[in-house]
Chains A and B, each alone.
Chain A
Amino acid sequence: MSVRSTLRASPTLLRVGFAGAVAYRAEMIVWVLATTMPLVMLALWTAVADGGPIGRYGRPEFIAYFLATFVVRQLTGCWVFWEMTFEVRNGTLAMRLLRPIHPLWTYAFESIAATPMRIVVCVPAAIATLLVVGRNGVTHDPVMWAAWLVSISGAWVLTLLVNFIVGSASFFVESSLKIMDLWLVFYFVLSGYLIPVDLFPPPLRHIIDWLPFRFQIGLPVEIMTGAVSGRECLVLLARQWAWVLAAFLATAATWRLGLKRFASYGG
């Protein structure tokens, strides 16, 4: 299906995807509860900060950082790999392959369609940020908000592509779920999800700057809270989108090679 036809079909795909997300609203709420780790970290780090600031983080900075982390996590959350692995294993991917639209587009639309439900959860957290830490908790610069939009889009696309790569790995191994578990270990530690990246020792931070994990969570949070700006922000955005490009190429390769191995089991 051409990109034009895909775009023409997109309103219907999004509407049906949203109807599906509403049908799974209970599961969605449970998922949201399962992603409240930033709020737990907020409690921990603010307690630590009561003894004095850590790096540039005092109590209000930690509150702003982890509430922003919660919002970014909701907006970039994606579990497409789980569905892909399931569908490759039991053969139901066949039904997507029969339609004249690339299956990865359909997964992407289903993921985007759940966003309004997640925004409903984000809004109270965003309001809480403003009420607790005031307007100074987030950047005031409209240019940085534009940069934030670029970074949150990059974070979402990168996370989606990582899901595609891990999902496509299930063409080669019996289940790729453990591959995602391994990815998530690094993601939780090195992305800024549990610990702000600038609290890592400088040598480790230098390595983190070149890894993809920070660009899935940390960068949008840092831009939102005013921790990065100017030239540094541009460099990090360039690195983020370089990772998006690399992940796109890896997705194309693993999908194309994997599809040749698809056995369409199960009748």
Chain B
Amino acid sequence: MIRVRALRKHYTVYEREPGLGAAVRSLFHRRTKTVAAVDGIDFDIAPGERVGFLGPNGAGKTTTLKVLAGLLHPTSGEVAVAGYEPRRRQDGFLKQITLVLGQKQQLIWDLPPSETFEMNRAVYDVPRAAYQATLRELSELLELQELVKKPARTLSLGERMKCELAAALIHRPKVLFLDEPTIGLDVSMQAIVRSFVKRYNERNGATLLLTSHYMDDVAHLCPRVIVIDRGKLVYDGALDALVTRIRPDKRVVLRFSRAVEAGDLGGFGELLQHDGGHSVLRVRKDEVNSVVGRALATLPISDLTVEDPPLEEVMSELFSRRRPAISEGAPP
């Protein structure tokens, strides 16, 4: 469904120092610099896959999504989405994709979202009956109801994002590019958006490429992740494998029926958190069974869980390492 080969997107940007002198000098001589936002990446995504696209700020994620959606012309390389070359922006291509930018809106600001839906119906040439059915389904899944009658400017951020998603899906696209769709939303709204996206993918067999700084989004939605850093691809594979590779340890979370001293936990693993009734230990993966057995035998345990390290920590450690050090996670 998506094929990317040696994709590069370079920008020429102007640079100048602060101050009046620099402002005057820049009138006569502008200093430019070429920035490699995306610097030779390759990947393939199969129909119906859900893929997380991760990287620190400025890594090139959004630029890549914009190239895939046909908004930006690549500097070099090959890109194909649903059999089309995105930069040509043919109707057949645009009718199969959607791009939701969490920081941009397509809703008409002063009109109710229903007007934007209606406009999209006309522009995407969606038959009236299919439009009504899609709208009913989206309203039900996203609980839009009365929202669509209020001017977009009066909606809360979460309400607006729900309407943005509905507007983006009126034409039932086969490929979803979602760029930070949950940015700024509260936890419950994030969960609603996540579960909606998952159901849409399952019901319609749509392909999903998602960027998000909320690792919960990625953990819930994407079995596979592609990681880029400074425009280069540094990992492409299963999320579980990435976690295991970067952090080959587990979290053992203990709850006690009576208070336990921190000193009593010394031999079980690295103590990350402790407040008497509750402790979190970091334990090597191959030692988990024995640590759990000993803990159950010797400590007043009321509850015990074994968890993966938080994805935020995994990503933070991944990006703090030098790229060559993680080359074992190289793309296929």
Enumerate chain A interface residues (CB-CB to B < 8 A): 1-2, 5, 8-9, 11-13, 16, 19-20, 23-24, 91-92, 94-95, 97-101, 259-260, 262-264, 266-267
Contact = CB atoms under 8 A, between A and B. Distances in A.
Given A12-B121, A100-B94, 20 more contacts: A1-B123, A5-B91, A5-B125, A9-B122, A11-B122, A20-B110, A20-B111, A23-B151, A24-B110, A91-B104, A97-B71, A98-B70, A98-B71, A100-B123, A259-B73, A262-B72, A267-B62, A267-B102, A267-B103, A267-B104
A101 B70 CA distance: 14
24 contacts: A1-B91, A5-B91, A9-B123, A11-B122, A13-B119, A13-B122, A13-B123, A16-B111, A16-B115, A16-B119, A19-B111, A23-B110, A23-B111, A92-B104, A94-B99, A97-B70, A98-B70, A98-B98, A99-B120, A100-B123, A100-B125, A101-B123, A262-B71, A267-B104
Size class of the contact patch on chain B: 35 or more
Contact of A9 (B72, B105, B125): B125
B119 A12 contact: yes
B232 interface: no
Interface of B: 11, 62, 66, 69-73, 89, 91, 94-95, 97-99, 101-106, 108, 110-111, 115, 118-125, 151, 179-180
Contacts of B124: 99-100
Contacts, number: 82
Contacts of A100: 91, 94-95, 123-125
A24 B71 CA distance: 29
Contact of A16 (B11, B108, B125, B179): B108
Nearest to B95: A100
A98 B104 CA distance: 13
Contacts of B70: 97-98
Contacts of A259: 73
Contacts of A12: 118-119, 121-122
B125 A8 contact: yes
Contacts of A24: 110
Given A24-B110, A100-B94, A100-B124, A264 B103 contact: no
A5 B89 CA distance: 16
A267 B101 contact: yes
B182 to A, nearest CB: 14
Nearest to A174: B14
A16 B108 CA distance: 9
Contacts of B71: 94, 97-98, 262, 264
Contacts of A19: 111, 115
A94 B99 CA distance: 10
Nearest to A96: B106
Contacts of A267: 62, 101-104, 179-180
Contacts of A91: 104
Nearest to A97: B71
Nearest to B92: A100
Nearest to B168: A98
A259 B66 CA distance: 13
A24 B124 CA distance: 26
Contacts of A9: 122-123, 125
A177 B97 CA distance: 33
B171 to A, nearest CB: 9
A1 B11 CA distance: 30
